[in-house]
Structure 1
Amino acid sequence: MFKNLVTSAVFAGVAVGVIAAALQFWMVTPLLLEGELYETGARVHFATDGSTQSDAGHPALFTEPARDLMTVGFNMITFTAFALLLAVGFALVERGGHEITAKGGLIWGLAGFIAMQLAPAVGLPPELPGTIAADVELRQVWWICTVLATALGLGLIAYGPMAAGLVGAALIAAPHVIGAPHLDTYFGVAAPELSAHFVAASLGTSAIAWALLGLFTAALWVKFKDA
Structure 2
Amino acid sequence: MFKQIFSSALFAGLAAGLISALLQFWLVTPLLLEGEEYETGAKSHFAGVLIVEGEDQKPVEIEEEPAPPTSEVLARHGMTVAMNMIVFTGFALVLVAGFATATTAGHVITAKSGILWGLAGFIAIQLAPAAGLYPELPGTPAEDVYLRQMWWITTVIATIVGLALIAFGNRLHWMALGALFLAAPHIIGAPHLEFYAGVAPPELSALFVSRTLAVACATWAVLGGVAGAIWHRQTI
1:172 is paired with a residue whose SS is helix
Distance in structure 2 (CA, Å) of the matches to 1:126 and 1:48: 25
Aligned partners of 1:34, 1:104: CA distance in 2, in Å?
A: 38
Runs of 5+ consecutive residues of structure 1 not aligned to the other structure: none
Equivalent in the alignment of 2:28: 28
State the distance in 1 between where 2:186 and 2:30 align.
31
Residue equivalent to 1:121: 130
Equivalence for 1:194: 204
Q: Could you say what secondary structure the match of 2:199 adopts? A: coil
Q: When the two structures are superposed, what TM-score results if normalisation uses the length of structure 1? A: 0.93
2:228 matches 1:218: yes
* Sequence identity percentage: 58
Max radius of gyration: which structure? 2
Structure 1 residue runs of 4+, over 3 Å off? 47-53
Alpha-carbon distance, 1:50 to partner: 8.0
Q: Secondary structure at the match of 2:149?
A: helix
Q: CA RMSD in A?
A: 2.2
Which residue number corresponds to residue 180 of structure 1?
190
- In the other structure, the counterpart of 1:142 is 151
Per the alignment, in what secondary structure is the counterpart of residue 123 of structure 1? Answer: coil
Matches within 5 A, 1:60-209: 64-161=73-170, 162-209=172-219
Would you say how many aligned residue pairs link Structure 1 and Structure 2?
A: 222
Amino acid at match of 2:21: A
Separation (CA, whole Å) in 2 of partners of 1:17 and 1:8: 14
Q: 1:215 to 1:48 in 2, by over 3 A?
A: closer
Deviation at 1:48, TM superposition (A): 11
C-alpha offsets along residues 58-90 of structure 1, whole Å, 9 cap, x if unaligned? xx9x97111111100000011111111111000
Measure, in 1, the Cα distance between the counterparts of 2:150 and 2:50: 39
Q: Deviations over 1:96-155 (max 9, x none)?
A: 111111111010000000000000000010000000111111011000000000011001
How far is the alpha carbon of 1:164 from its aligned partner? 1.2
CA distance in 2, matches of 1:49, 1:38: 15
> What is the CA-CA distance between 1:225 and the residue it aligns to?
2.1
- Post-superposition CA distance 1:197-224 (Å, at most 9, x none): 0000100000000011000000000112
- 2:234 aligned counterpart, secondary structure: helix
Write the letter of the residue equivalent to 2:132: G
Q: Write the letter of the residue equivalent to 1:214.
A: G
Partner of 2:37: 37
